[in-house]
Structure 1
Amino acid sequence: MDGTNRTRLVDYKTEQPTAVALDLVKKLVYWADAYLDYIEVVDYNGKNRHAVIQQSQVSYIHGLAVFENYLYATHSDPSIGNTMDIFKIHRFNTTEPRTLTSLGSSRGAIRVYHRLTQPKVRSHVCEKDPYGKPGGCSHICLLSGSYKSRTCRCRTGFSMGSDGQSCKKPKNDLFLFYGKGRPGVIRGLDMNVKSSDEHMVPIEDLVNPRAIDYHTESGHIYFADTTSFLIGRQKIDGNSRETILKDDLDNVEGISVDWIGNNLYWTNDGYRKTISVARLERASQTRKTLLEGDMSHPRAIVVDPLNSWMYWTDWEEDEVNDSIGRIEKAWMDGSNRRIFVTSNMLWPNGLTLDHGTSTMYWCDAYYDHIEKIHLNGTGRQVVYNGKQLNHPFGISHYRNSIFWTEYMNASVFQLDLTSGDVTLLRSERPPLFGLRVYDAQSQQDCVRVEQGEA
C-alpha cells in the first residue's frame, strides 16, 4: 500500500472495467466490465479468473461491493432514463440479479456499512508511537507488504530525511512553480526532469490561479485567482495563507512583485482596463491605480526594479490586424508610458526578463512562438516555434533555459537556448496557467547590486 510492487493482475479480455471490489478474507478481486457485460473475479495473484455472471443486465454498472455471499451493484442504463437500480447477486450460486430499489440518480458508488467489512488486527506497524507519530513517521505511515511492515512518506512539498522517518521543510532556493485549473492548485516542480521533488506545499482550494509570482525575503507565493476575484498569498511551507486584495478585481491575469520596493503590481482586464500597485503588507489600504485606458486586454506584467521600468502585454482579439497586440512599458510610478514592441503580435501571453543580459522573452498564443528582444529595443527575433507550441500561456527564464506552459495540452516544457533541445518536464490535466522560476538567489543578487550601486 506504499505504491511499490505494482503488479498487473488482468491484461486481456477486458475493455471498460468500471467498478472493483475486494473480498478481504478470501483475497479475491471482483470487477465489472461495462462494455463486455460481465462481472468476473480473480485472486490476489492474478490466477483462478472466472466469470460470476455475464448478461445484459450487468451492463452499465458503476459501483460494486462485496458482503458475505453477495455482490451489490449500482446499475444505470442511459437509454431508459435518469434512474439507478441497486441489485444483489449471489456470487457462488449465480441467479438472476435481484433488484433491491431504484433511485432518481444516473450513477453512483456503493458500499456496505458493517463492522465485518473492516476487520481489525491486534497490532500493526502504523500504530502511534509514544510521541504520537504513526509508525514513527513524521507525516504518513503506509503499510508495505503486510500489516507488520511499513514505509514512511512525506506530504507533498516536503522531502524525506536520511532516517527514512522524518520530513524536512521544503527547499526554497530554486524550483519551478505553476498554476492549473480543474482543480485549481499551484504546484512546485523540480527543474531536473528525473526528480519528483516539488519543493513547496501546494496551494489548494483555488479555481483559476492564472497569475503567480514570489517574494524571496518573506517566502511568499503570490497568486491571482481570476474566477474568485482575489489576490492572495501563502508561504512555500504551507503557512500564512491569506487573501490580500478582493475588491474591484475583475479579471487579473498578470501580477509582479517588486522585491526592492516591496510592492505588488497587477493588470486588470475588466470594464476599466488598468495597471495598479499596492504594498505587499496592508495591500487593501495602500492600493493605487497607476494607468487606466488605452488597452484592449492587459495580460502579463513584469517589473524591473533595478531600472525602474514595468512592462505589460496587451492582447487584441481582432485577427485581421496583427499590429494591434503589443507590449508596453512605463516607469514604475506609471509615468513615461510608451509602446515597447508591436507588429507581428496578437496574443502576447507570458512575459519574463533576463536581468543578466537585459533581455525580454515572451510567448504569443496566436503565432505559437517564443520571441526575445533586448531591453534597449534592439535584436528582436523568434527564439522557438516548434511543434510543442500550441497555445503557450506562462513563460519564465533561468540561465540558459526558457520554461513555458501549454494552456490546453497541459504540459510544462524546457527549451535549451544553446542547443534548441526541448524537454517535457510534466504533463497535467488541462488547463495550465502561469509559470515562474522561484530563484531566491536572483532577488538577493539584485538587491546587493542595487545597494552596491547606491
Structure 2
Amino acid sequence: MRNLVAARKCLVFFLGTLLLAVNIHSTSYGQGRYKIYWTEAGWTKKTGKIRRAHLDGSHVKDIVTELKAPRAIALDMLRRKVYWTDESTRKIQRADLTGRNVKDIITGFTFPPGGRSVTITCRDGKCTGVVYWKEGKIKLTHDLLINPRHIALDVQRKKMYWVNEMLKHIQRANLDGSDVEDLVTYEAFSNALTLDRNRGKMYWTDYSRNAIRRANFDGSNVENVVATMDEPVSLALDVARGKIYWTVWIRGFDGPRTIQRADLDGSNLEEIFTSPDQLKSLALDPVGGKIYWITSESKTHTGTIQRANLDGSKVENIITGLNNPWSIALDFPGVRVTPSIDKLTTTWGKMKVE
C-alpha cells in the first residue's frame, strides 16, 4: 500500500510539473515573448532608439527613445533587462525590457563644447588623459577614460564585458557597474565582442591584425582564431555546432560585403551571404536554425533586418525602412527555469511517503 501511495504521488507530481511547464511556455510564446531587439543611432536631436519586434518582424515597438547614439545592445533575460552603449554620451545604460527605469551603469568623461582633443599616457597598466579646449585643459583619471563600443553579458556570473575604444582595452564589471577590470589591450580598433560562456572564452575583432582573437574571461591565453584580409565587424557564436559567424563591412573598399563563418578553431572558412550594402550586427537563433543581421545603405543609412538559415539559404526581409540601425539581439525560444518550477522541485524534495 505504501508503495502504491508513493507511486501515485510521483505520478501526480510529474504530470503537474509537465502541465505547468507547458502552460508557462505556451503563455510566453503566445504573448510573443521571443523578440528581436535593436538600436537605431539618431546622432542628432536625440532621435536614437531601442526598438523591438516579434521574430517575424511584426509588432514593432519603441522601447527607449530620445537617445543620442545607441550602438551595441545586449539582453539579460534572467532579470528582464536590456543594456546598450551610447557612442555619443560614452555611457553604458540599461532599462527594463518595457523601457522603464533607464539607468547609467558605466559613465565616462563628457567633453565640454569645443573640447575634442585628448592625449592619453599609460604606465604600468594605468592611464591618464588630458583634454584640451578653449578654456585650458582638463586632466582625466583612468576610470574616466571610457568610450564603450560593444557589450556582452555573462548573466549567470553577473558580469558584463565591453570594448573601451578610448583606452583600447576590453574591460568587465559587475552588472551594476561596480568593480571595473582591465582584461586585454588591443592595438588599433575593435569592432565586436562576444562570449562563449560554457568554455569561459571571449572573442573579439582586432582591426590592426585583421583577425578574430580570443582569450580566457580573465584576459589570459590570448590567441588568433581567424586571420583574414578583410575587416570583421560583428561576431556571433553557435557553440553547439562549433561555429563562429562574422560580418565583413568593407572588403577592398569597392568589394562586396559578406557574412562568413568558420569552425571555432578557425578552419573551414566559408562565405554564406553577399550584399552590396553595409553589413552591421548579426545574431543567431541556434534553436530555430536561423541567422539574423542588419544591412544599411551607405548613403541614406536606411536599414533592413534580414534572416536566413544558418547556411545562408532562404534569405528574407523581416523589417525594412529603419533609421541607421546598428546592433541586434535576440530573445529566442529555449529552455527556461522559472521560479514556479523551482518551488515545485522544492515541494517534491519535502514530500514524505506515508
Is 1:278 aligned with 2:211?
no
State the distance in 2 between where 1:269 and 1:391 align: 23
Which residue is 1:116 aligned to?
none
Which residue is 2:320 aligned to?
385
Which residue is 2:311 aligned to?
376
- Pairing partner for 2:258 from 303, 310, 326: 326
State the distance in 1 between where 2:260 and 2:266 align: 11
| Residue 217 of structure 1: how far off its partner (Å) | 2.6
Q: What SS does structure 1 have at the residue aligned with 2:213?
A: strand
Query: What do residues 226-274 of structure 1 show as CA deviations (whole Å, max 9, x unaligned)?
Result: 232110001113332101012x33111100000111100011122x201
State the distance in 1 between where 2:95 and 2:150 align: 17
Query: What do residues 350-405 of structure 1 show as CA deviations (whole Å, max 9, x unaligned)?
Result: 1111232121111112262111111133221111112xx232111111249xxxxx
Amino acid at match of 1:308: G
Amino acid at match of 1:397: L
CA contact (8 A) 1:172 1:236 kept: no
Task: Pick closer, same or farther for the CA change 1:346–1:238 going to 2, 3 Å.
Answer: same
Which residue is 2:90 aligned to?
184
Give runs of aligned pairs for residues 12-31 of structure 1, distance below 5 A: none
Task: Pick closer, same or farther for the CA change 1:316–1:186 going to 2, 3 Å.
Answer: same
| Residue 172 of structure 1: how far off its partner (Å) | 5.5
Compute the TM-score of the two structures, normalised by the length of structure 1.
0.46
Which residue is 2:107 aligned to?
204
Which residue is 2:283 aligned to?
352
State the distance in 2 between where 1:269 and 1:365 align: 21
State the distance in 2 between where 1:399 and 1:207 align: 31
Which residue is 1:85 aligned to?
none
- The structure showing larger relative contact order (alpha-carbon pairs under 8 Å, at least 6 residues apart) is 2
Which residue is 1:147 aligned to?
none
Which residue is 1:293 aligned to?
228
- Pairing partner for 1:364 from 283, 291, 295: 295
Compute the TM-score of the two structures, normalised by the length of structure 2.
0.58
CA contact (8 A) 1:317 1:347 kept: no
Task: Pick closer, same or farther for the CA change 1:320–1:335 going to 2, 3 Å.
Answer: closer
State the distance in 1 between where 2:292 and 2:93 align: 23
Give runs of aligned pairs for residues 126-275 of structure 1, distance below 5 A: 173-193=79-99, 195-196=100-101, 198=103, 202-205=105-108, 207-246=146-185, 248-270=186-208, 272-275=209-212
Task: Pick closer, same or farther for the CA change 1:172–1:222 going to 2, 3 Å.
Answer: same
- Pairing partner for 2:272 from 337, 340, 347: 340
CA contact (8 A) 2:244 2:264 kept: yes
Amino acid at match of 2:279: P
Q: What SS does structure 1 have at the residue aligned with 2:240?
A: coil
State the distance in 2 between where 1:197 and 1:319 align: 39
CA contact (8 A) 2:77 2:331 kept: no
Q: What SS does structure 1 have at the residue aligned with 2:323?
A: coil
Q: What SS does structure 2 have at the residue aligned with 1:286?
A: coil
Amino acid at match of 1:280: F
Q: What SS does structure 1 have at the residue aligned with 2:211?
A: strand
Amino acid at match of 1:316: I
Query: What do residues 294-349 of structure 1 show as CA deviations (whole Å, max 9, x unaligned)?
Result: 21x2111011111111101111277755xx1011101111111111211x343111
Task: Pick closer, same or farther for the CA change 1:238–1:207 going to 2, 3 Å.
Answer: closer
| Residue 277 of structure 1: how far off its partner (Å) | 0.7
Is 1:396 aligned with 2:301?
no
Task: Pick closer, same or farther for the CA change 1:380–1:309 going to 2, 3 Å.
Answer: same
State the distance in 2 between where 1:382 and 1:339 align: 19
State the distance in 1 between where 2:224 and 2:252 align: 27
Task: Pick closer, same or farther for the CA change 1:207–1:181 going to 2, 3 Å.
Answer: farther
In structure 1, runs of 5+ residues without a counterpart are 1-169, 401-438, 443-454
Amino acid at match of 2:212: I
Q: What SS does structure 2 have at the residue aligned with 1:334?
A: coil
Moved over 4 A (4+): 317-321, 439-442
Which entry has the higher C-alpha Rg, 1 or 2?
Answer: 1
| Residue 213 of structure 1: how far off its partner (Å) | 0.5
More helix by share: 2
Q: How many residues align?
A: 222
State the distance in 1 between where 2:93 and 2:152 align: 12
